[in-house]
Structure 1
Amino acid sequence: MAGMKTKVLLLQDAVYLPSFGGGNKANRLLMRELAKLGFDCRVVARLPGPAQHNPAVFLPEALAARGAIVREDERGQQHYGHEGVQVLAMDTAAPNAAAELEAFIQRKRPDWILVSDDHRAIFLQAALSFAAERTIVVVHTHFHLPFGPESRALNPEQHARMRKARDIVVVSDYSRQYVRQFGGLEATLLRFPVFGAAPFAVRGRPDGGYVTMINPCVLKGLPIFLDLVDHFADTAFAAVPTWGADDAVIEVLRARANVTLLEAADEIDTVLQDARIVLAPSLVPETFGYVAVDAMLRGIPVLAGGLGGQTEAMLGVDFILPVCPIEQSGGQVRVLAQDTAPWRAALSRLLSDPQFYRASAHAARHAALGFLPQTDVCHFARHLAELAEKPGLF
């Protein structure tokens, strides 16, 4: 392969651009950074549907405003380049999707195939059919895994396929332990390059700004957010709707006079520029809460729920607070009563004690800046190189 670019193909059954969800954003920024290193990066992603939140942001003209010139083929698929990455957005639910995907892989003949969010269980099969030794499963959420208590749908056949992949990459130690305990599989922990490079402007301040929550919805802890909104009626809150906020959630938020709705943005700094405190009260286990680190890098204290990898994302600083996880069975979601007293107490102190706020903000920023080197894309590139050293792979 001397003199040739390493070809990396990402397959994700999720929208590529814009990418407001944590896993989607992590994949997009990984591919962007690999492209900067000289990798030949391509993506097959899901074509946005009409049910997508705020569908206007997925229109070709909206993507063009982000620097992606979209071409639609005769089948309605979208083709575009963005930040050095070539993207095909296809209807992954179409009857012939699997066959088209396999044909695409055969044409491009990638050196590595990253399979992420394969909840229809077609991407991994297509990758394995081409070359199991070149296939890497990427785990951003346990919802889409075929095993374990956090899975939405158990799938023994997909579980067996995962055993054939060359590697499984996870984003947190919590996720690595989950995959081992419930899937009987070993995984490699790699931090994704999602945060950018220093310096980061200090955004948090004790005397103004919003108490902000990104992606307000039940799964992410909307009941706790609303309780705090109602309890601190004189405090300015902000909500940033993304994939989880449906019309009913938007209506509930708009009914609160002290809540401002903010537009989601590709650059997290835009969202956090007026944040005073960030809330991350997820009621489901997170694999890793990126927004916590994003906020802490900017000197913004974070109040986070204590489920899953969210505790890992807090990097050993305050405040990890209790939540009662939702119960899911047969597609039904049951939200249990939440003890918000610890949340109220923590928020009250940050709002009323400027000295305590500054100390908390400093500790958060210091921890996040210390963590940042682990997210350099070179770690991922070196891992691919180490895998490639196996004789006879290329």
Structure 2
Amino acid sequence: MPDGVDMRKVPLAASQPPIPEAQMRIFLVQTAQGLTPSSGGYKANVNFLRQMRDFGHEAAQICYGFGKEVEWFAERATDKGIKPDVQTIDLDVTDPKNITYNMKVITFNDEYGIKNIVISRDIFNHAYPVKEFFVDTKAYLENGEEHATERIKSLIHLFSTQIKEFRPTHVMFNDALTMSITCTHEDRALFKRVAIIHTAEQLPFGPFCAGIDGHCVSAKLENKMLRDLDRIWSVSKAIQSYAKEHGNLHTEYFVHSTRTYMDAETGAMPLVRHNVDKDEVGMINPCPHKGLSILLALAKSLPDIKFVTWKSWGSEPQHLAQLEALPNIEIQATTENTDEIWDRIKVLIAPSVWLEAWGIVVTEAQLRGIPVIASNAGGLKEAKIGLPYCIPVNMITGERHANGNYVVPEQDAGPWVDALVKLMTDRVAYETLAHATEVGAAKWLQGLNDHAHEEWLLGMMDTT
């Protein structure tokens, strides 16, 4: 691209014509909480499906919903001229206490034309209490369906039936349950099985194996199953290197689909903010392995600077209590609309100390011209795309406390204080970095191949 060209005025796919190949039918299984979760992995997955729909392929997902989420999504589809075709599947689930729950699985087409098979998360959490679900899943993986609990058999039946009805060319997932179900599915020969690796904890080897509840419940068996898949997608070079180093597992690296980083409503480049006159520093998902100790140290060292945090999946009550004890930290509820964050903050901090897979919020903020001070943990260095600031931290090693939580090493907050003070008090320094951030992030996104995932998946169809 010639010097002086405004990257934001160049359509993303201007030089990349659609690929004239056979249509794919992609079936994806989500594990996140709800249809509008704050999980970066969920956001990346669903935007991948939307991009495949943009390119003319069919897509479906098994996912979870809360409250009126389905109603809201169906209304949006209708407003966009898509018939949602809402239908209900009655699925009775009996737990070991002989209590029967009606799951009321709802299927509908969303505004992007994706078929959603939605399990009520509210009912699911009663029928499948978290700890018991992991125990049941482990038993099924290791002993087979004939020895599985009735409630796991119900889930297997749902997944298997929906896969058969959709007739996919590819089934994609990041959970062991689906990996096992698809291994023995009666239509196994008709589709490719693809795992998406979003966390090191998901992998059945290395120091971070099963570091998060539910991520890897039967390491030995999952290790064997992974090596029988058609392909494995790592979302960062950091995850790819971890898989190779600790498990000698070959995976293929692709950054998330370009649609992941576009404006959610328009699909265009995100609106650049000019937040030099804002006065708040933001952090998302405050918890120990995301760098809670660094946030607390910053807030204590800089009492005149305002901090605002948004709760997410890692924010436990004891973590929030530490934040509430400091008068210059405000806690906000989880938000599905990240524009609320970008409209408000001057600087984003991402002080993770674990092997971060990528760090979507880091790239999102930079595309909007918001400077980010991030650690160099895992894929965060990649998400920073070469822009300041990327500060070294003492990463977790995988050592655990008695309760299973990671031991977080002591951190040096000094470099964080220096960087933050400069950006919050030096207007010229802020504006210079904000402009470089906006331009650099746009150039990075423009340089990605919109069709990389499509080409990869289509290529699998040529192999037996």
Q: If the TM-score is normalised by the length of the shorter chain, which range does it land in?
A: 0.7 to 0.9
Q: Distance in 2 between matches of 1:256 and 1:208?
A: 20
Paired residue type of 1:122: L
The answer to whether the 8 Å contact 2:35/2:69 transfers is no
Cα 1:378–1:266 change in 2 (3 A) is: farther
The answer to whether the 8 Å contact 1:179/1:186 transfers is yes
**Equivalent residue number for residue 234 of structure 2:** 170
**Equivalent residue number for residue 104 of structure 1:** 162
**Equivalent residue number for residue 145 of structure 2:** none
Give the superposition deviation at 1:253: 2.8
The answer to whether the 8 Å contact 2:204/2:219 transfers is yes
1:81 and 2:152 are equivalent in the alignment: no
Cα 1:16–1:87 change in 2 (3 A) is: farther
**Equivalent residue number for residue 328 of structure 1:** 399
More moved, 213-222 vs 36-45: 36-45
Cα 1:129–1:136 change in 2 (3 A) is: same
The answer to whether the 8 Å contact 1:191/1:374 transfers is no
Q: Distance in 2 between matches of 1:174 and 1:253?
A: 30
Give the superposition deviation at 1:67: 4.4
Listed as ranges, the gaps of 5+ residues in structure 1 are: 49-57
More moved, 17-26 vs 68-77: 68-77
**Equivalent residue number for residue 225 of structure 2:** 161
| TM-score (norm. length: structure 1) | 0.87
Out of 21, 34, 38, the residue aligned to residue 56 of structure 2 is 38
- Provide, for residues 51-107 of structure 1, a one-character-per-residue CA deviation record: whole Å limited to 9, x for no partner: xxxxxxx21x24433446776543314324333222223447342123432333233
1:364 and 2:421 are equivalent in the alignment: no
Higher Rg: 2
More moved, 346-355 vs 261-270: 261-270
Paired residue type of 1:169: W
The answer to whether the 8 Å contact 2:351/2:374 transfers is yes
**Equivalent residue number for residue 195 of structure 1:** 261
Listed as ranges, the gaps of 5+ residues in structure 2 are: 1-19, 76-83, 92-102, 134-150, 211-215
Cα 1:67–1:341 change in 2 (3 A) is: farther
Q: Distance in 2 between matches of 1:4 and 1:344?
A: 54
- Provide, for residues 8-63 of structure 1, a one-character-per-residue CA deviation record: whole Å limited to 9, x for no partner: 10023333511311111100111122122222111123x46xxxxxxxxx21x244
**Equivalent residue number for residue 52 of structure 1:** none
Q: Distance in 1 between matches of 2:22 and 2:393?
A: 51
Out of 372, 375, 381, the residue aligned to residue 302 of structure 1 is 372
**Equivalent residue number for residue 16 of structure 2:** none
Out of 323, 329, 335, the residue aligned to residue 259 of structure 1 is 329
**Equivalent residue number for residue 71 of structure 2:** 64
Give the superposition deviation at 1:246: 2.5
RMSD: 2.5
The answer to whether the 8 Å contact 1:192/1:375 transfers is no
Cα 1:147–1:32 change in 2 (3 A) is: same
Q: Distance in 1 between matches of 2:202 and 2:447?
A: 26
1:181 and 2:250 are equivalent in the alignment: no
Cα 1:161–1:251 change in 2 (3 A) is: same
More moved, 206-215 vs 161-170: 206-215
**Equivalent residue number for residue 386 of structure 1:** 459
| TM-score (norm. length: structure 2) | 0.75
The answer to whether the 8 Å contact 2:285/2:313 transfers is yes
Cα 1:263–1:63 change in 2 (3 A) is: farther
The answer to whether the 8 Å contact 1:77/1:88 transfers is no
Q: Secondary structure at the match of 1:136?
A: strand
- Provide, for residues 231-285 of structure 1, a one-character-per-residue CA deviation record: whole Å limited to 9, x for no partner: 2211121111111123333333334332233343334333211110001011211
Out of 40, 65, 89, the residue aligned to residue 22 of structure 1 is 40
More moved, 83-92 vs 181-190: 83-92
Q: Secondary structure at the match of 1:169?
A: strand
Q: Distance in 1 between matches of 2:209 and 2:389?
A: 28
1:188-227 to 2 correspondence within 5 Å?
188-193=252-257, 194-196=260-262, 198-227=268-297
Q: Percent identity?
A: 26
Moved over 6 A (4+): none
Q: Distance in 1 between matches of 2:39 and 2:88?
A: 24
Cα 1:210–1:312 change in 2 (3 A) is: same
Paired residue type of 1:328: E
**Equivalent residue number for residue 126 of structure 1:** 181
